[in-house]
Amino acid sequence: MALNFANNNSLSAITTLPASISGGGMTLISEQTASSSASISFTSGIDDTYDSYVFKLYNIHPADNSANLRFNLSVDGGSNYNVTKTSSAFAAWHKEDDSGTSLAYNTGNDLAQSTDPQRILFGGLDNANDGNGCATLQLFNPSSTTFVKHFMCTAVKNSYHPYAWNTFVGGYGNTTSAVNAVQFSLDSGNIDSGVIKLYGIS
Amino acid sequence: MALVKYNDNSISAISSAGQLATGSLVPIKTLTASSSSTLSFVHGTDGVVLDSTYPIYKFEFINIHPATDNVEFQVNFRDGSTDYDATKTSTFFRALHDEADTTTALAYRTGGDLAQGTGFQRLNEGIGANGDQSVSGELKLFNPSSTTFVKHFMGKFSGCNAGDREDTTYVAGYCNVTVAIDGVQFKMTSGNIDSGTIKLYGIKDS
């Protein structure tokens, strides 16, 4: 069937493309919006379709002051978030009154063969109305049954102190089982608001 | 003139997008290692584009696994000849934490940087060769076709060190040349790349 070109080869009225057309290298799989949520879990769409996945976190706002955002991994579709992880963590921060700066490793935010959630927005989020944090979390080849599961996260937030924080985390889920679900939560209180988007990288 | 709609605003018969915008991250080429001494992306070869088509190029590395224990994964750039020997100046630092929880560090690594060096640029440190160990990460190359500016690159990697620890490495620098970079090569400091995938993307409108 030939396409009728109606307007000098543009397709301004088209709202969907067939599945056979690639949407580019970065495909939005799903997104969730927090609303006084104890946790946000992605229990579908994480499989062998893509070699790597990216979570983008927008304006994560805590209900409780000084809470830290964490994530954990699941190998059973979200029944349990308890994958053993080893990670490193460091951060740069700068006070709003210009009275202090730092770039240092953060032993309180790394993990050594622990099943605890991994902090990514650490240093204490501010629950004032304008307080929030944003982050990008990469998860490599979660469906592998050969390799451990590497992740890297870079995040920025304004803390309750108030400081600007730039946080860096790298690590691996030390499992050769396929990771198929990811959960985000705070270490205190609910996620009052915010958006988390999951992308697959083809 | 109105557009003829075939199927409630979808166009099911179309199989190629042509010049239709389909997202900013454009897959260009994937190479898969299989006991490979090197993996190279050369503009104009096997579908590789590495020119002014995109302002930024991104390499993504999935589970790069060495044949030899405790080796480094490296990169070099081609700047006008067939040799991968562009002059580079760079910085390199890492954070680490071992599984036994006995060691942590955040430090600049002078052994990983270059000062007008033509050798390969280290991207991580001491990858283990156990069956489940590898390194994954990304490397961006900015405006490689410029004949005005030096060519900046930035990368970050998470790897399983041979000492059973997590190493996150950050590398940044520039090829100190004003000729176009038209090839990028990856290899280990010793031995083959046993397995792993490297994907090259162009970033549109960046």
| A62-86 confidence digits (pLDDT tens) | 999 999 999 999 999 999 999 999 9
- pLDDT at residue B22 in the model: 54
Residue A155 in contact with residue A36, Cβ under 8 Å? no
Residue in chain A lying closest to B27 (CA): A25
Tell me what the mean pLDDT of segment A99-125 comes to: 97
Within 10 Å of residue A146's Cβ, how many Cβ atoms? 12
Check residue A156 and give its pLDDT. 96
Cβ neighbourhood burial of A36 (10 Å; 0-12, 13-18, 19+)? exposed
Strand order in the sheet with A133-140: A26-37, A191-201, A52-62, A133-140, A149-158, A163-173, A85-95, A101-105
Q: Does B147 touch chain A (CB under 8 A)?
A: no
Contact at CB, A18 and B104, closer than 8 angstroms: no
Tell me how far apart the alpha carbons of residues B68 and B191 are, in angstroms, rounded to a whole number. 6
Per-residue pLDDT for A13 more than 80? no
Q: Which residues pair with B56 in a beta bridge?
A: B142, B203
Q: What is the pLDDT of residue B199?
A: 98
Per-residue model confidence (pLDDT) at position B6: 47
B201 and chain A in contact, CB less than 8 A: yes
Kindly list the residues from chain A whose CB atom is less than 8 angstroms away from the CB atom of residue B25.
Answer: 24-26, 201
Q: Which residues of A touch B104 (CB under 8 A)?
A: 88, 105, 107, 110
User: Which residue from B15, B16, B22 is facing A23, i.e. has the nearest CB?
Assistant: B22
Average pLDDT over residues A5-29: 61
Q: How far is A98 from chain B (nearest CA, A)?
A: 24
Cβ contact B137–A3 (<8 Å): no
Domains, chain A:
31-201 (2.60.120)
How many whole angstroms separate alpha carbon B37 and alpha carbon B188? 8
Mean pLDDT of chain A: 92
Average pLDDT over residues A22-33: 87
Q: How many CB atoms are located within 10 Å of the residue B188 CB?
A: 22
Query: Could you say which of B10, B96, B133 has the minimum Cβ distance to residue A88?
Result: B96
pLDDT tens-digit series, residues A185-200: 999 999 999 999 999 9
In this prediction, the residues of chain B whose per-residue pLDDT falls under 70 are 1-22, 206
ipTM score here?
0.87
Facing residues of B65 across strands? B195
Q: Do A86 and B23 touch (CB under 8 A)?
A: no
Residue A113 backbone class (left: φ over 0; alpha: ψ -120 to 50; beta: rest)? left
Question: What is the least distance, in Å, from the CA of A5 to any CA of chain B?
Answer: 7
- Per the CB < 8 Å rule, is A87 touching B197? no
pLDDT digits (tens, 9 = 90+) for A40-66: 999 999 999 999 999 999 999 999 999
pLDDT value, residue A16: 56
> Would you state the pLDDT for residue B90?
96
CB contacts, 8 Å: B133 with chain A: 147-148
Q: Do A25 and B160 touch (CB under 8 A)?
A: no
Nearest chain A residue to B102, by CA: A112
The stretch A78-106 carries a mean pLDDT of 97
pLDDT score of B205: 75
Tell me the residue type at B105.
A
